[in-house]
Amino acid sequence: MADELISTQLIDNVGEPSPLISILSGCFGGVAQVITGQPFDCVKVRLQTAAPGSNASIVTVVKDIVAKEGYSAFYKGTTTPLLGIGACVSVQFGCNEFMKSYFTRLNGKDVSMSLPQYFASGVVAGIANAPLASVIEHVRIRQQINVSQNAPSAIQIMQSIIKNGAIGRGILTTSIRDGFGLGCYFSFYEYLVNRQLKKYPEAYKNDRKNLESWKLCTFGGLSGMVLWSFIYPIDIVKSIKQTGPLEVKPEGIINIFKKLHRANGTAGFFKGIGPALIRSFPVNAATFLAFEASMRALS
């Protein structure tokens, strides 16, 4: 990867949008993310939390969900992320943009940001996002694994989590996942954009705002696949921590890793990665498309 990139701009902006426009655009991006990715996420969680030694596959899980719970079950736990993921995406993009502005001022106007600086910006965004994302995902995961026809609502699950003092369960794991993950995501995205600008300097005039929207979406989708390829093992640990009995203190990250390895070997760390990778491309493409379209429309 190149050491220095051409521009600090994340996506195709029009003018200088206000912070409110960025926040609203992040919310729209989050809604698009949830609607696109929820069915894939439901299958992923069922695979991740299957009993050790289980022969569950994408096909068997999908068939089982349709046969026992109907197609609507793929959108179990949608309410909570719809309300919260918009906020998460706003935090991610907002913090990332803040850090990019900081590094730009630090470097001076004539020096472009380096790839490590883009990675550091993503790390800060991920860590800032983790407390909110952890709680939202905790509620959603508990809804997704409940196969009962009279499953508790998101509010009931949240009340139970608070009652058992488990509101902070998974925050450290989520911080590790999102910090490293968003660092990879944003830096790889910037690398793809920079590579395109260098490859066709005359067509884009070294200005990323001239890149087509479909290319930005494609770069976002590919970056999402890279993200999940690197962080999937820690995501499994997070799912296990957040699906255990609320009354019982969960095991530590290292102990869960050891148990997974003993039960399923290295393959156990990648159980359910198929839906995660399939999901990551359209989800991240939709997020960038909705975010950019909203920025343009609101501006």
- Residue 70 has what pLDDT? 85
Count of positions (residues) in the chain: 299
Q: What are the mean pLDDT values of the chain's consecutive 10-residue runs (299 residues total)?
A: 40 49 77 84 80 77 87 77 78 83 86 92 95 90 78 87 93 96 93 90 80 87 93 92 90 92 88 83 86 75
Rounded Cα–Cα distance for residues 73 and 91 (Å)? 29
Q: Are 175 and 238 a contacting pair, CB within 8 Å?
A: no
Rounded Cα–Cα distance for residues 255 and 262 (Å)? 11
- Residue 222 has what pLDDT? 95
- Residue 4 has what pLDDT? 41
The owner of tokens 């997020």 is 287
Q: pTM value?
A: 0.79
- Residue 165 has what pLDDT? 93
Region 19-298: CATH code: 1.50.40.10
- The domain limits of the chain are 19-298
